[in-house]
Amino acid sequence: MKISNPCCESIPTPQKAKLDGSSDEGSDLDPVLLVSGMGGSILQTKKKSFGLQTRVWVRLLLADLEFRQKLWSLYNPETGYTESLDDSTEIVVPEDDYGLYAIDILDPSVFVKLIHLTEVYHFHDMIDMLIGCGYKKGTTLFGYGYDFRQSIRIDKLMDGLKEKLEVAYKASGGRKVNIISHSMGGLLVMSFMSLNNDVFLKYVNKWICIACPFQGAPGCINDSLLTGLQFVDGFESFFFVSRWTMHQLLIECPSVYEMLPNPEFQWKKQPEIQVWQKQTKDGDIFVNLESYGPIENVALFEEALRHNELSYGGKKVALPFNLSILKWATGTRQILNKAQLPTGISFYNIFGTSCDTPFDVCYGSETSAIEDLSEVCHTMPQYSYVDGDGTVPAESAKADGFDAVDRVAVSGSHRGLLRDKKVFQLIQNWLGVAVKASNHKITSKVMDAGSR
């Protein structure tokens, strides 16, 4: 075990990978499969009646409107799936470009390219880097995007990952696959490994994990369930999905519950949600700072979200804290806690440092206390910070529990690690490749699917 620390619109027709193992440029390399994380895949809505598709995530123009109409969802405890309130459409992930299109530039519109919004240039730079090292799309380079609203152990996601591994294995002539996962994608791979250990051993050679919340992302996830999430900051946020709109989706997403802080992990300090609460006793008013740990916070979530609702189609839809999802997520955490790395598979872990990362979350203040806990959902939080990548604490990201070949700290932000030169150097070293000399710039082709 080793820890290192280097210095701190029309939609294109899907292409099919070769399955005959024929020789081609880059065929001497073991195939690479890129697996995205939370919010890291393009999602499109498809009309059930005539198949018209529109990109709903990610988009800047008309983002909030499209999000509310097409992506707001409810969890179905009978099926285990989160299902869109708009029952005339279904959510699909584009499979174009061997799965790479969906995880490349998440909003590949002309507008985004003009302002070069790096926040949505997801795996783009890494895809270019790998192509520069000789990897070839459809032979040795593939992507796996998925509906990240769903549980990381739901059948559709597990079957999709298995299919991708099989395609990459066959297309490369029977070479085992090297997985590179980001963020929640690492938990998905970990879940697959635990539930399909024999399949994982058959198809996988190396697994490189980047910025994975192995033990949860306490500050960000706790606050996401209470007040929401702002995916894009700064001026661009005015064009994007609002924090509250995002909040109303996340409450019904099993994947979010599955990233709550692991109560069984031996944290240096237990993560807490703190609330300055106003209480009255015998006519006197008291203000107390109440603290809720990873187990006690369930009672807080229930009370704070008891009146939460949204308006959809002229009707009110109740969205309290979902105990059915919590029960499912608890089962997922048990699966993750028992995951074992099969003998013969090399595991590498890159985690981000040097960024202030939310850990404890506090609502209200001593002079402006919360009287009713439902007020928490309309209160901007204050954080206590720890070292990490701005989203996942380093303590969580490096606690994979596996016998890693290398475990490396890199100074960088959560999404920024996907375009970090030090990360690229590590990946090249671990894969045993290097960028080839070229007289022209390598650019992965990205077309605009559904900017209408």
- Closest by alpha carbon to 236, among 125, 148, 120, 122? 120
Q: Which of 414, 420, 444, 448 is catalytic?
A: 414
Give the span between the Cα atoms of 420 and 424, in whole angstroms. 6
- Closest by alpha carbon to 100, among 63, 70, 139? 139
DSSP assignment letter at 418: G
3-state SS assignment for residue 225: helix
3-state SS assignment for residue 355: strand
Structural contact between residues 346 and 206, judged by C-beta atoms closer than 8 angstroms: yes
Residue 389 is among the residues annotated as catalytic for this protein: yes
Give the span between the Cα atoms of 106 and 71, in whole angstroms. 16
Q: Which of 27, 183, 444, 451 is catalytic?
A: 183
In 89-210, beta strands by DSSP E: 89-92, 141-144, 177-182, 204-210
Structural contact between residues 131 and 444, judged by C-beta atoms closer than 8 angstroms: yes
Structural contact between residues 384 and 272, judged by C-beta atoms closer than 8 angstroms: no
Q: Label residues 121-133 b or e (16+ Cβ within 10 Å = b).
A: bbbbbbbbbbbbb
Give the span between the Cα atoms of 17 and 97, in whole angstroms. 9
Residue 15 tokens, joined: 């292409």
Give the span between the Cα atoms of 273 and 96, in whole angstroms. 42
Q: Which residue has the tokens 């910025």?
A: 211
Residue 361 tokens, joined: 């979350």
Residue 448 is among the residues annotated as catalytic for this protein: no
Q: Which of 30, 107, 128, 389 is catalytic?
A: 389
Structural contact between residues 341 and 249, judged by C-beta atoms closer than 8 angstroms: no
Residue 124 is among the residues annotated as catalytic for this protein: no
Residue numbers annotated as active site? 183, 389, 414
